[in-house]
């Protein structure tokens, strides 16, 4: 069983390396789709109360999705979308090695953020599942049953974003030749036009150096 599993892993690695460009593109599209669903779902919980009616407890605290979690979930959705969009953009318009390295680092940060959201909203869903009805000032306070599936969905989507993000980060490193512009990175010209430009510039430099050497030889001859 262990030998078969190792063989499957080796075949999977070979498949990914042979089709790394397609794998990266599919992964980024999956991340974009999940990020869009995450952001749409996040708008359904902004400022929502955990209980119905929305009342304070004995300590004067309001059980609802406060400003902090609301801001975190909206900002997270925006970061997830930007991470996938920039990746797809860099596959079309190449960038420098510095920008590509910064993007890989930002992708790792987005993956860590997805893990944080997965744990946080999982805890919120667990809390909603364990909350019970209680009486407050003669009113029966019930748990908002519509929030539990939303919290659970956010946690599940965040876990998927974390899994695909963890797969995407090393894939970005392997596919750096599809992201980095060779001209901006100082490697070599990428097109025939750029090659002609560099050749013309080099030829001009050589001609100028030759002229300066001739002038220097003439000056030395006159001085003698």
Per-residue pLDDT of 25-76, as tens digits, reads: 899 999 999 999 999 999 988 888 887 777 666 545 667 888 888 999 999 9
Residue 217 pLDDT grade (very low, low, confident, very high; cuts 50, 70, 90): low
Please give the residue that has the higher pLDDT: either 189 or 163.
163
Q: State the CB neighbour count (10 A cutoff) for residue 204.
A: 10
Token pair 């794998």 is at which residue? 23
> DSSP string of 101-159?
HHHHHHHHHHHHHHHHHHHHHHHHHHHHHH---EEETTEEEEE-TTHHHHHHHHHHHHH
The whole-model pTM stands at 0.72
State percent of the chain over pLDDT 90: 32
Give the span between the Cα atoms of 216 and 220, in whole angstroms: 6
Does the N-terminal peptide bond of residue 53 adopt cis geometry, omega within 30 degrees of 0? yes
DSSP 167: H
Question: Which of 34, 45, 38, 41 has its CA nearest to residue 70?
Answer: 45
Q: Give residue 46's pLDDT.
A: 87
């Amino acid at each position: 069983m262990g030998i078969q599993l190792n063989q499957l892993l080796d075949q999977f690695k070979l498949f990914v390396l042979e089709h790394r460009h397609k794998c990266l593109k599919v992964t980024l599209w999956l991340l974009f789709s999940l990020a869009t669903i995450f952001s749409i779902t996040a708008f359904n919980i902004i400022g929502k109360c955990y209980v119905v009616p929305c009342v304070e407890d004995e300590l004067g605290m309001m059980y609802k999705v406060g400003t902090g979690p609301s801001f975190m979930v909206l900002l997270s959705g925006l970061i997830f979308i930007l991470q996938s969009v920039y990746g797809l953009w860099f596959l079309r318009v190449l960038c420098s090695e510095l920008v590509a390295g910064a993007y890989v680092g930002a992708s790792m940060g987005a993956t860590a953020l997805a893990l944080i959201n997965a744990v946080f909203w999982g805890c919120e869903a667990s809390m909603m599942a364990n909350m019970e009805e209680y009486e407050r000032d003669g009113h029966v306070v019930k748990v908002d049953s519509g929030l539990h599936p939303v919290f659970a969905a956010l946690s599940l989507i965040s876990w998927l974003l974390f899994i695909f993000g963890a797969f995407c980060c090393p894939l970005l490193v392997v596919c750096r030749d599809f992201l980095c512009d060779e001209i901006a990175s100082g490697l070599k010209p990428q097109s025939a036009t750029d090659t002609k430009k560099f050749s013309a510039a080099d030829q001009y430099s050589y001609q100028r150096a030759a002229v300066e050497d001739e002038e220097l030889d003439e000056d030395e001859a006159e001085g003698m």
